[in-house]
């Protein structure tokens, strides 16, 4: 299933996947900071923005992204990183390099996964009970977003999402639905850039573990930022990403 997307510029291809409750518009501050050396495609994940069907598993969403993107680099943040990892594993013919920001290869323990599924199901019911605007306010009050400025939080775009889309996304593609992919990381024979914020200890630790398993990976821990590191310090993130993209391109 093709997803809603917008393409900017020309050159080698780089596609972007956002996090839960965001839309493809969330990447605009980053794209506007990057140089014009590439063609950038921003994608609305299932259940978000103009891709309203959230009844897509992570496996299905990975295939949807592969169908939507041009062959090239795939960048994913948080939920988008989990989808991007599936896309890369399932469709190596489309994903030539991968950037995972505040991402994970899954929850190891089956009981912990079951608890997370229950938690996400409860959260989905909560969205249905209170509606999107109130939910977005609550979501952004989470400590993991404390470093995100109101401007770059892009609340209006988040509020354009639907109750059904967000609740379905939680039920079908929440973290608890993800089969652990840790052993599969060794299969990824492509360049991978892992990025996390130093103030997000959980995902910094996860990134370090992923680095140890990925054959062709680099890890960059951004200073002074947390989970939304790419938006908390757009300039530094853009510099790190641009440098890596140019090096990957020159090695082809």
Residue 129 CB neighbour total at 10 angstroms:
11
Question: DSSP states of 157-200 as a string?
Answer: HHHTS-HHHHHHHHHHHSGGGPPP-TGGGGG--S-EEEEEETT-
Q: At residue 28, does pLDDT exceed 80?
A: yes
Q: Which fold has domain 5-250?
A: Rossmann fold (3.40.50)
Q: What is the model's pLDDT at position 141?
A: 97
Q: What percent of the chain has pLDDT over 90?
A: 97
Residue 92: predicted pLDDT: 96
202 pLDDT exceeds 80?
A: yes
**pLDDT tens-digit map of 69-97:** 999 999 999 999 999 999 999 999 999 99
State residue 35's pLDDT score: 86
How much is the pLDDT for 134? 98
Confidence at residue 57, expressed as pLDDT on a 0 to 100 scale: 98
Q: What is the pLDDT of residue 215?
A: 94
Output the pLDDT for position 125: 98
Q: Cα separation of 148 and 97, whole Å?
A: 27
Mean pLDDT, the chain, integer: 97
The model's pTM = 0.97
Given a cut of 90, is residue 250 above it in pLDDT?
A: no
pLDDT digits (tens, 9 = 90+) for 173-192: 999 999 999 999 999 999 99
Residue 36 pLDDT more than 90?
no
Q: What is the pLDDT of residue 90?
A: 98
pLDDT at 244 over 80: yes
Q: Look up residue 157 and give its two tokens.
A: 């775009």
The residue ranges of every structural domain in the chain are 5-250
For residue 252, the model assigns a pLDDT of 75
Residue 251, pLDDT > 90, answer: no
Show contacts of 202-211: CB within 8 Å, 24+ apart. Answer: 203/102, 203/103, 203/104, 203/227, 206/103, 206/104, 206/105, 207/100, 207/103, 209/182, 210/100, 210/103, 210/104, 210/105, 210/185
């Amino acid at each position: 299933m093709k997803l809603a997307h917008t393409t900017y510029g020309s050159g080698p291809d780089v596609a972007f996947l956002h996090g839960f409750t965001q839309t493809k518009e969330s990447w605009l501050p980053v794209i506007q900071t990057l140089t014009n050396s590439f063609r950038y495609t921003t994608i609305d994940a299932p259940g978000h923005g103009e891709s309203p069907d959230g009844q897509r598993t992570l496996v299905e969403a990975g295939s949807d992204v592969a169908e939507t993107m041009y062959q090239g680099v795939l960048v994913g943040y948080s939920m988008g990183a989990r989808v991007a990892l599936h896309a890369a594993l399932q469709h190596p013919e489309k994903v030539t390099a991968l950037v995972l920001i505040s991402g994970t290869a899954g929850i190891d323990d089956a009981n912990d996964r079951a608890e997370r599924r229950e938690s996400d199901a409860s959260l989905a019911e909560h969205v249905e009970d209170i509606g999107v605007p109130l939910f977005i306010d609550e979501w952004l009050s989470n400590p993991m977003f404390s470093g995100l400025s109101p401007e770059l939080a892009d609340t209006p775009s988040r509020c354009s999402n639907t109750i059904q889309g967000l609740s379905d996304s939680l039920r079908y593609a929440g973290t608890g639905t993800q089969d652990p992919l840790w052993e599969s990381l060794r299969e990824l024979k492509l360049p991978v850039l892992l990025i996390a914020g130093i103030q997000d200890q959980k995902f910094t630790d996860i990134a370090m573990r992923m680095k140890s398993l990925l054959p062709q990976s680099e890890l960059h821990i951004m200073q002074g930022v947390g989970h939304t590191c790419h938006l908390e310090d757009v300039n530094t993130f853009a510099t790190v990403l641009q440098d890596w993209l140019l090096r990957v391109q020159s090695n082809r």
